[in-house]
Amino acid sequence: MHHALLLFALVQPLPAAAQFDGLKFRSIGPATPSGRIDDFAVLARDPRTFYVAAATGGVWKTTNNGITVTPVFDEGGSGSVGAIAIAPADANLVWVGTGEANNRQSSSWGDGIYKSTDGGKSWKHMGLRESKQIARILVDPVDHEVVYVAALGDLWKAGGERGIYKTTDGGISWSRVLDAGPDAGGIELVMDPTNNKVMYAATYQRRRTSWGMNGGGPNSALWKTADAGRTWTRLTKGLPEGSLGRSGLDVYRANPNIVYARIEHPTQGGVYRSDDAGANWRKMGSTNPRPMYFGVIKVDPRNDLRVYVPGLNVLVSDDGGKTFRSLDEKIHVDYHAMWINPSDPEHLMIGGDGGVGISYDRGAKWMWLPHIPVGQFYHVGFDMQTPYTICGGLQDNNTWCGPSQVRSKDGSANDDWFVAQGGDGFVGLIDPTNHKIIYAESQDGNIVRTDRTTNERKSVRPEAVPGEKPLRWNWDTPFMLSSHDPATLYAGANTLYKTTDRGHSWKAVSGDLTLALDRDTVDLMGMKGKDIKIAKNDGVSVYGTLFTIAESRLKKGLLYTGSDDGQVSVTRDDGAAWANVTPKIPNAPKWAYVSKVEPSKFAEGTVYVTFDGHRSGDYGTYVYASTDFGGSFRSIAANLPSGVVVRTITEDLKNPDVLYLGAENGLFVTTDRGRSWVRVKANVPTVPVYEITLHPRDNDMILATHGRALWILDDLTPFQQYSVAAAKDAHVFEVEPAVERVRAEDRMREFEGDMRFLGENPPVGAPITYHLKTKGDSVRIVIKDGSGAIVRELNGDSAKTKPTSGINTIVWDFRVEPLPPSKRAGTDLPSFFGGGREGPMVLPGTYTAALFVNGKEAASGPVQVRLDPDIQIADADLKERFDALKQLHGLNRTLTAATDAVRDADDQLGSIRKGLPDSTKVPAPIKATTDSLTKELVGLKRKLGIRTPGEDLFSMDFSELRRALPIRLSMTGGDIGGAHVKPSEANRQAVSALATEVPAAVTEVNGFLAKLKPFYLRLAEAGLYPVVPAPVEEKR
């Protein structure tokens, strides 16, 4: 996967640790739900090239109309992208504005604006770091040094960089040309296509908090400039009076006097039109679905009456916005981005919560891009199958379950995943004793139990007792399976509920564990909650809910809860008595989400707690530990700088000193229990990490990222043993038992084209991970069997990544040394004959991996090799199979040398034949001997299956070719190695025959070579000096 290069060192709020860069996470998707898309940038002269901006998944580029897509913005300071633009005069000049501007409760934020001058290969940060959310970028079509930015500003607090900004020097400096106040910023900016000095802007005043939303104010307005932003006029005639919410704008390309607006207002919202360049407006209709979240309006470039309003569906009007109908998209709902080809209005592109759709018939039929894995996962669970299944919930994209790896060699496809629950997905848990039972939820506590045998679903949501107040459920409701009893579950509303019969019945085990704040009495952007008229509390249906719950693995009934209003509570007796321990937490942010409570797996009284205060405009870093059941807390944020907003914390499975932390922009680890932290970048893009789940059997880490779907690190040992390794010059980490997993070629994916996503399988082999204090000039891994015999040598310098100081990995593919490559490129026989040059896989057992640095053994460790658990074969039969393959491998090695010698001789005799007719000095007997040797050589070549370079394979006699020794070796080896069964009688006979015929052929080859020596001496007398190939030795 390609990653763009960030050209300069940012002053980032994220420390990075190069020592962990050698780790390799696997991206497993899925891409089937894709994820939220915010904007497009399309190359006007060639719309096959376009960029896709994802809400929290970075930027993706295609140059072939979406057949393939590549992430090009993985190394920025934020993966949240709100706007993207290509300079009309320079296709390589691309601008990216970070921080999406769609204002929902889960929206992320950015760190300013970036520029690429090489089509997305590299990026440079260009300022506006405090803009937080950028809604639109316009590049002047005449002077690409002039750029305009609609900076919406911080969703969660006042101030910062917000409004309309302009640069005239390519981003070196910026000036705010439209300031609408500390609470309002630019939400839309469009340019007159015939006059680059005329632009229309929409400003938007809004604020979110953890408890609600105020989506409008007096500084929400429409504006116009006719002098490239030097002055602006507020547009009011015909528009609604009073406070507005979000507005969208578009200019009709064929007549720029026609301007459309989409306006949010408590009573007069809808679609408005101006026919005099914004001077006067008239309301066309009231259609304006959920404008807080959907703000785009588009007019057909050739038909001023055809207007598009994306929302839950793409709505289209053919009468200028008076009436609308829904397009039949047949792709995911909720649309935030739309592009219409200015040269061909039949060609549309839409971006929504489920990815990208393209139409070539004005929306009648759609093509969906199935290979952009920008899913926004909240949580992830697993089962104990081998390999294990994963379940996780995504923003607006259901709860999906699928394989951590598949037998197919290509990797997991979208159709390997299935839906366990609809709606917005959150927690997905699999019964540890029955993998067909899955618990999953959608928003606001809608928990179901699914039986995969029939795919029937049963609601198991707790309900309030009749007569009591309704329960308050968080959008992302916490629930969990007890580690002490698989029939016991806990679910958190504003109170904690427990079931001991898998959800058939529930009982409350607490009172209200929140502050039960009446949010109607709280100020939000200058008014009480009860007085909010626009987008009131959109997306936050209730407040005062539990957000995180956990039970100790060490003591049944030891429970912790954390709420969305900052309360941490504990019970040590399964709910009989509770203690609110929030006052024990120093400097805990007021009314902030308790993002995670994590009881220790090693010490009963230890618990870790994190807070996320960004919903109150607090981007501080809050990480705490208690060793006395919450009686006292201390901060362990240590060297984590402010700005690392913490989403989750997880304690390691084996080492209590190791903690993993998921933040809004990455993964962190401490190996000293919070005294110091480092960022783990490796190959994971900058993306919010919402949950870190560890598989107890496989010692894997599963990352639920909110923007790039799921990632797996297959072995946590480098973290668990890092402190030990760092104290040595060189160290080989313990290798998890490695399985000789058989990969199948059963899907024929290679014939499906390129428009596909495939999740990565782990490599077939044992990853040998080692640590170097300093980089070595040469690094080798030597694999030895139980007797000390060398099985394989792996050269670190030939690995895809050169060994560096820190952590490195080389994968041993379980095989003995491969055959040396033929000296004659292009003359090897095709692989469809079977076999190959790779050595056979070793027998299960314990091996040793020795690390050699600069020629000296520096460290070593055991490697346990296990057979694929699905293979059933007796040990004696497995050994017979291995011995046969190893014998064939040795014969093949010998035959390769013989074949190369014959090819050398063939070349030389061919040269001699060409030269003889022009030589008057060569006696006739020499010519006769040449003819005789050539004839003999033809027989050897047939026996060895040698074809002339460039000779068409399909013109050869296949029946004769199959009798050639290399073909027989390959086919016999391919048959024996193709299945884990004992060799058949035919296999045994073939091996026996080859064991006789190969040495005989070598003897024949050496005999032929012996004849060349005296012949070549005679040639030397004639002035020709060929070199006799060396005799062939038998190799085993």
DSSP one-letter string for 810-847: EEE-SB-PPPPPPSSTT-SPPGGGS--SSPPBPPSEEE
- Strand 5-6 relative to strand 122-125: parallel, antiparallel, unpaired? parallel
Q: Which CATH architecture has domain 5-10+37-368?
A: 7 Propeller (2.130)
d(CA 945, CA 378): 59
- The arithmetic mean of pLDDT across residues 835-855, rounded, is 91
What are the DSSP calls for 164-186, one per residue? EEEESSTTSS-EEEE---TTEEE
- Locate all alpha helices (DSSP H) within 209-361, ordered by sequence: none
Of the pLDDT bands very low, low, confident and very high (cuts 50, 70, 90), residue 1025 is low
Higher pLDDT, 916 or 924: 924
Whether 5-10+37-368 shares its CATH topology with 767-867 is answered no
Instruction: Please tell me the predicted confidence (pLDDT) of residue 286.
Output: 98
Instruction: Please tell me the predicted confidence (pLDDT) of residue 1004.
Output: 93
Residue 219 in this model has a pLDDT that exceeds 90: yes
Residue 170 in this model has a pLDDT that exceeds 50: yes
Residue 172: exposed, middle, or buried by beta-carbon count in 10 A (0-12, 13-18, 19+)?
A: exposed
**DSSP structure class, residue 706:** B
Contact 68, 61 (CB under 8 A): no
Residue 764 in this model has a pLDDT that exceeds 50: yes
The CA distances from residue 801 to 21, 736, 807, 849, in Å, are 11, 22, 11, 19
Q: Write out the two tokens for 67.
A: 């057949």
Instruction: Please tell me the predicted confidence (pLDDT) of residue 957.
Output: 64
Residue ranges per domain, the chain? 5-10+37-368, 375-461, 463-635, 638-715, 767-867, 875-1021
* Mean pLDDT lowest among 29-33, 569-573, 646-650, 1031-1035: 1031-1035
Instruction: Please tell me the predicted confidence (pLDDT) of residue 703.
Output: 99
Instruction: Please tell me the predicted confidence (pLDDT) of residue 919.
Output: 56
First and final CA of the chain: distance in angstroms?
A: 40
d(CA 544, CA 855): 64
Instruction: Please tell me the predicted confidence (pLDDT) of residue 385.
Output: 96
* pLDDT, tens only, 782-838: 999 999 999 999 987 655 556 888 999 999 999 999 988 776 654 455 444 445 688
* pLDDT, tens only, 238-271: 999 999 999 999 999 999 999 999 999 999 999 9
Picking from 504, 627, 494, 618, the residue whose alpha carbon sits closest to that of residue 565 is 494
Residue 776 in this model has a pLDDT that exceeds 90: no
Instruction: Please tell me the predicted confidence (pLDDT) of residue 954.
Output: 57
Count of helices and strands (H, E) across the chain = 7, 71
Instruction: Please tell me the predicted confidence (pLDDT) of residue 1036.
Output: 59
Instruction: Please tell me the predicted confidence (pLDDT) of residue 588.
Output: 97
Of the pLDDT bands very low, low, confident and very high (cuts 50, 70, 90), residue 752 is confident
- The arithmetic mean of pLDDT across residues 769-783, rounded, is 91
Higher pLDDT, 960 or 206: 206
Residue 308 in this model has a pLDDT that exceeds 60: yes
**Could you tell me the strand order of the sheet in which 489-492 lies?**
479-481, 489-492, 496-499, 507-508
d(CA 246, CA 235): 15
Of all residues in the chain, what percent carry a pLDDT higher than 70? 93
Instruction: Please tell me the predicted confidence (pLDDT) of residue 3.
Output: 39
Q: Which residues pair with 454 in a beta bridge?
A: none
d(CA 381, CA 946): 55
How far is C-alpha 676 from the chain's CA centre? 27
- The arithmetic mean of pLDDT across residues 368-378, rounded, is 98
* pLDDT, tens only, 647-703: 999 999 999 999 999 999 999 999 999 999 999 999 999 999 999 999 999 999 999
Backbone phi and psi for residue 222, each to the nearest 5 degrees, phi listed first: -105, 145
* pLDDT, tens only, 449-491: 999 999 999 999 999 989 899 999 999 999 999 999 999 999 9
Backbone phi and psi for residue 417, each to the nearest 5 degrees, phi listed first: -105, 155
CB atoms closer than 10 angstroms to residue 993: 12
683: left (phi over 0), alpha (psi -120 to 50) or beta: alpha
* pLDDT, tens only, 943-986: 888 876 655 655 556 666 678 898 899 899 999 999 999 999 99
Amino acid at position 370, single letter? P
Q: From the options 3.30.70.1290, 2.130.10.30, 2.60.40.4070, 1.20.120.1200, give the CATH code of 767-867.
A: 2.60.40.4070
Query: Hey, is 114 helix, strand or coil?
Result: strand
* Mean pLDDT lowest among 22-31, 419-428, 797-806: 797-806
Residue that is written with structure tokens 């009284």 in the block: 605
What are the DSSP calls for 370-399, one per residue? ------BEEEEEE-SSSSPEEEEEETTS-E
**Could you tell me the strand order of the sheet in which 806-812 lies?**
730-732, 766-772, 806-812
Instruction: Please tell me the predicted confidence (pLDDT) of residue 641.
Output: 86
Torsion sign (Cα): 975, 981, 984, 988 = positive
Q: Write out the two tokens for 286.
A: 């009231």
Predicted model pTM:
0.94
Residue 365 in this model has a pLDDT that exceeds 70: yes
d(CA 220, CA 205): 5
Instruction: Please tell me the predicted confidence (pLDDT) of residue 276.
Output: 99
* pLDDT, tens only, 32-75: 989 999 999 999 999 999 999 999 999 999 999 999 999 999 99
Instruction: Please tell me the predicted confidence (pLDDT) of residue 747.
Output: 78
Residue 1033 in this model has a pLDDT that exceeds 80: no
Inter-axis angle of helices 875-915 and 924-944, to 10 degrees? 160
